[in-house]
């Protein structure tokens, strides 16, 4: 890479990357598409690599483009902060903070993990999304989200440069309506054999851990239904269709909200929780609040 980068060219690249196309960037910047395309070509020539690849009628970032975008985000964020300091306009309007959670994570625990972000000194506007871990990490790579919550860490198998921040772990607790809970409590966990269970689908890590536990003990429950969405699973449990498990860390919330009773703990079957960000070192105040609160209270035990 040569010594100097034209920051106007970098700004055009930054806008195109976030808007997703030259046409949309043109509308935002009020500059002709031809001008933007020409400036992008000059930037690519300057740094010696292609920043975008064609995808249908649009563009997607190349691997080099994603790397450059990370630096561009930091550069223009710092520039914005500098302008705020000099102009004395700190705190004008809330900053967007976008958190995406794996669809299999219990909504109650996602709420408890995220909530501390709303108590920091900085005013933020929270957006919460959910989906598969793979799709969420893809959004993280192009800065569409600030943080991904997952029960599995990101690994080198995925071509995404992201960093795991371990929040903590929790054993699991079984719940059911009072009459079912009373029936299965006395001889738990042997009572799970032939018991009607509502379980997460096998794509979720905690289901795999539970299946291993069952296999080791030769326990074969009656799996009544499987769910990808934890909220739906709990709703069916509330209706009396069967027993279900959730992280022990939210036992009281589950009992109070769904009118069910806990009837047994499996501390050896652990669900782990990770906050995945594009930063190796946590600097974002909302992410820091999430991390510190999870480690200090939610998963302290």
Domain boundaries, the chain: 7-87, 95-168+273-298, 169-269
CATH 1.20.140.10 fits 7-87, yes or no: no
The share of the chain scoring above pLDDT 70, in percent, equals 92
- Render pLDDT for 182-203 as a digit per residue (tens, 0 to 9): 999 999 999 999 999 999 999 8
**Nearest Cα to 159, choosing from 93, 67, 40?**
67
Average pLDDT for residues 12-21, to the nearest whole number? Answer: 87
pLDDT at 2: 45
**Nearest Cα to 151, choosing from 5, 273, 7, 301?**
273
Tokens, residue 223: 């799996």
Residues 6 or more apart whose Cβ sits within 8 Å of residue 205:
151, 152, 271, 272
Neighbouring C-beta atoms of residue 82, cutoff 10 Å = 10
pTM for the model: 0.66
Confidence band for 89, pLDDT divided at 50, 70 and 90:
very low
pLDDT at 200: 94
- Render pLDDT for 19-65 as a digit per residue (tens, 0 to 9): 888 888 888 888 888 988 898 998 888 888 899 888 777 788 999 98
pLDDT at 77: 76
- pLDDT of 73 higher than 90: no
Average pLDDT for residues 67-75, to the nearest whole number? Answer: 87
Confidence band for 148, pLDDT divided at 50, 70 and 90:
very high
- Where does 169-269 sit in CATH, by number? 3.40.190.10
Residues 6 or more apart whose Cβ sits within 8 Å of residue 69:
13, 14, 17, 61, 142, 143
Could you give phi then psi for residue 222, rounded to 5 degrees?
-90, 100
- Where does 95-168+273-298 sit in CATH, by number? 3.40.190.10
Tokens, residue 15: 């806008």
Query: Same topology for domains 95-168+273-298 and 169-269, yes or no?
Result: yes
């Amino acid at each position: 890479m040569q010594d100097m980068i034209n920051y106007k060219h970098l700004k055009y690249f930054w806008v195109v990357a976030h808007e997703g196309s030259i046409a949309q960037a043109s509308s935002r910047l009020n500059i002709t598409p031809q001008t933007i395309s020409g400036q992008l070509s000059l930037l690519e020539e300057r740094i010696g690599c292609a920043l975008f690849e064609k995808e249908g009628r649009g563009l997607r970032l190349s691997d080099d483009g994603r790397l450059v975008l990370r630096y561009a985000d930091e550069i223009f964020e710092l520039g914005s902060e500098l302008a705020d300091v000099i102009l004395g306009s700190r705190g004008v309007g809330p900053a967007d903070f976008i958190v995406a959670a794996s669809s299999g994570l219990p909504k109650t625990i996602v709420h408890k993990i995220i909530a501390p972000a709303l108590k920091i000194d900085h005013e933020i506007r929270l957006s919460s999304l959910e989906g598969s871990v793979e799709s969420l990490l893809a959004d993280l790579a192009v800065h569409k989200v600030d943080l991904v919550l997952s029960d599995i860490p990101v690994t080198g198998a995925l071509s995404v440069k992201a960093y795991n921040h371990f929040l903590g772990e929790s054993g699991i607790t079984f719940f059911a309506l009072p009459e079912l809970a009373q029936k299965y409590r006395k001889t738990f966990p042997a009572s799970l054999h032939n018991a009607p269970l509502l379980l997460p689908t096998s794509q979720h890590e905690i289901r795999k851990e539970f299946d291993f536990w069952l296999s080791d003990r030769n326990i074969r429950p009656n799996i009544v239904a499987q769910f990808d969405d934890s909220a739906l699973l709990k709703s069916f449990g509330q209706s009396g269709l069967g027993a279900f498990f959730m992280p022990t860390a939210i036992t009281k919330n589950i009992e109070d909200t769904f009118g069910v009773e806990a009837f047994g703990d499996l501390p050896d079957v652990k669900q782990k929780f990770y906050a995945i960000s594009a930063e190796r070192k946590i600097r974002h105040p909302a992410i820091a609040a999430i991390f510190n609160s999870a480690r200090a209270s939610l998963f302290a035990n």
